[in-house]
Amino acid sequence: MPNTPHWIWQHPDWPKFIFDMKVVAPALNRARSAQGRVLGKAEALGLANLGSALADIWVEEANATARIEGEQLDLSAVRSSVARRLGMASVGAASRSVEGLIDLMDDATRRWRDPLTVERLCGWQAALFPTGFAGMRKVRSGALRTHATPMQIVSGPVGREEVHFEAPPSRRLPNELATFLGWFQSSRDRAVDGLLRAGTAHLWFEVLHPFEDGNGRVGRAIIDLALAQDAELDQRVYSVSRRLAEHRNEYYAELNAASRADLDITRWLAWFVAQFEDACLASEAVIDLSLAKARFWLQHAQAPLSERQRKAVNRILDAGSSGFEGGMSTDKYRNLTRVSRATAYRDLEELVRHGLLVQTGVGRGTRYFAAMERWTMGSVTEDNVDESKR
């Protein structure tokens, strides 16, 4: 072993992580506050009434965790698979790989009471590769890597590769995983903050990189499991992977920095907890939108709408307070509902007359927005819209 270890797992005190709580505490306090608001709103509304919001978070998470690995999923297939698991109406069928990913995510959240074992980890990884292939490449599925060659994360052209990280040799994995899983189980019963535990677990697992492929997605499922255990909640109310996907380069850079020789993971934990806070803020916005939509449709329950009008209004509502791509127009309505210009104009005017939409502009600049209090309409808000337009 070199005098100065290059990778964190080569340190003589590995895996005795340390961190400075004084540095982490401010970010942790903010994250806990954001988490409390999300869980409070979810509880107030009732999880049974959060179906669409929970489905949105599920879909975002599935697509994000795949996108981090450079994989694009069929959005309709993900939505269909998520809908079935939430007991909602679904259309179409999902591919085996999409179903496997959703199975993994579902197991990590719903079975938060169950211990994490090597068998469970292998089952998660196998679900990602139901055919035993990743594209055209054969993958060792449902089993730890065994090859003697180093497990490395590299980039760059052949012959000039840059090694970003090297994992422990395969022969060390049984003992390394036993230590990790023992800590993961025992730390549930100790005074270890749940968010810091989730961040530590993810980093530790990524350092081990025990599979030939799928380590990132399995590692983020460990985050999900740890967060579910922290909140003791079997529903997915945070979109952590989406946040990580939005900051993919930074995410990889922080993991790589933390994987170097020093066992002090203060920087990593502070960064991870800040991402969790932002994920909570995003989830809070999703829940707020769900609440706003529920109130909106309750207010307009008696409005005589056609299915195409209801579809269009829901699309506008789903866009949130910023408006549907700058506002609904006659042409956008036509494209969405496949009707004539005259019918589109008549439908939109009816929606304004019934109080569901407000109209701004004239001529080609005419736009329609949801009649929601304090929602913006370009530079216009409902508070300064002419009453005659309501």
pLDDT tens, residue by residue, 152-208: 888 777 777 788 889 999 999 999 999 999 999 999 988 889 999 999 999 999 999
Task: Looking at the structure, tell me whether residues 40 and 112 fall in a common domain.
Answer: yes
Task: Looking at the structure, tell me whether residues 325 and 245 fall in a common domain.
Answer: no
The one-letter amino acid at 94: A
**pLDDT reading at 251 higher than 80:** yes
Predicted local confidence at residue 386, as pLDDT: 38
pLDDT in tens, 252-304: 999 999 998 789 999 999 999 999 999 999 988 888 887 888 889 889 999 99
In a domain, 362, yes or no: yes
In percent, the amount of the chain with pLDDT more than 70 equals 90
In a domain, 28, yes or no: yes
Task: Looking at the structure, tell me whether residues 314 and 279 fall in a common domain.
Answer: no
Query: Domain of 252?
Result: 8-289
In a domain, 3, yes or no: no
Task: Mark which of 267, 289, 311 sits at the end of a domain.
Answer: 289
Q: Please, what is the average pLDDT of the chain?
A: 87
Task: Mark which of 235, 266, 289 sits at the end of a domain.
Answer: 289
Task: Looking at the structure, tell me whether residues 48 and 135 fall in a common domain.
Answer: yes
In a domain, 96, yes or no: yes
Specify the CATH number for the domain of residue 368: 1.10.10.10
Query: At 11, which helix (H) or strand (E)?
Result: none
Task: Mark which of 230, 255, 289 sits at the end of a domain.
Answer: 289
Task: Looking at the structure, tell me whether residues 37 and 82 fall in a common domain.
Answer: yes
Task: Looking at the structure, tell me whether residues 203 and 326 fall in a common domain.
Answer: no
pLDDT in tens, 304-354: 999 999 999 988 888 776 666 778 999 999 999 999 999 999 999 999 999
Task: Looking at the structure, tell me whether residues 200 and 261 fall in a common domain.
Answer: yes
Predicted local confidence at residue 376, as pLDDT: 53
Predicted local confidence at residue 46, as pLDDT: 73
| pLDDT band, very low/low/confident/very high, at 214 (cuts 50, 70, 90) | very high
Predicted local confidence at residue 350, as pLDDT: 95
| pLDDT band, very low/low/confident/very high, at 49 (cuts 50, 70, 90) | low
**pLDDT reading at 222 higher than 50:** yes
Q: In which residue are the tokens 């789903």 written?
A: 318
In a domain, 262, yes or no: yes
Task: Looking at the structure, tell me whether residues 278 and 325 fall in a common domain.
Answer: no
The three-state (H, E, C) secondary structure of the chain, written as one string: CCCCCCEHHHCCCCCCCECCHHHHHHHHHHHHHHHHHHHHHHHHHCHHHCHHHHHHHHHHHHHHHHHHCCCCCCHHHHHHHHHHHCCCCCCCCCCHHHHHHHHHHHHHHHCCCCCCCHHHHHHHHHHHCCCCEECCEECCCCCCCCCCCCCEEEECCCCCCEEEEECCCHHHHHHHHHHHHHHHHHHHHCCCCHHHHHHHHHHHHHHHCCCCCCHHHHHHHHHHHHHHHHHCCCCCCCCHHHHHHHCHHHHHHHHHHHCECCCECHHHHHHHHHHHHHHHHHHHHHHHHHHHHHHHHHHCCCCCCCHHHHHHHHHHHHCCCCCCCCCECHHHHHHHHCCCHHHHHHHHHHHHHCCCEEEECCHHHCEEEECCCCCEECCEEHHHCCHHHC
In a domain, 2, yes or no: no
pLDDT in tens, 91-121: 556 678 889 999 999 999 999 999 999 999 9
Specify the CATH number for the domain of residue 50: 1.10.3290.10
Task: Looking at the structure, tell me whether residues 234 and 318 fall in a common domain.
Answer: no
Task: Looking at the structure, tell me whether residues 261 and 322 fall in a common domain.
Answer: no
Task: Looking at the structure, tell me whether residues 85 and 158 fall in a common domain.
Answer: yes
The answer to whether residues 217 and 128 touch, using CB atoms and an 8 Å cutoff, is yes
In a domain, 231, yes or no: yes
Predicted local confidence at residue 235, as pLDDT: 86
In a domain, 294, yes or no: no
pLDDT in tens, 56-101: 888 889 989 999 998 888 878 888 888 777 777 555 566 788 899 9
Task: Looking at the structure, tell me whether residues 262 and 308 fall in a common domain.
Answer: no
Predicted local confidence at residue 377, as pLDDT: 54
Q: In which residue are the tokens 């269009």 written?
A: 312
Count structural domains, the chain: 2
Mean predicted confidence (pLDDT) in 36-43: 89
Whole-model pTM?
0.82
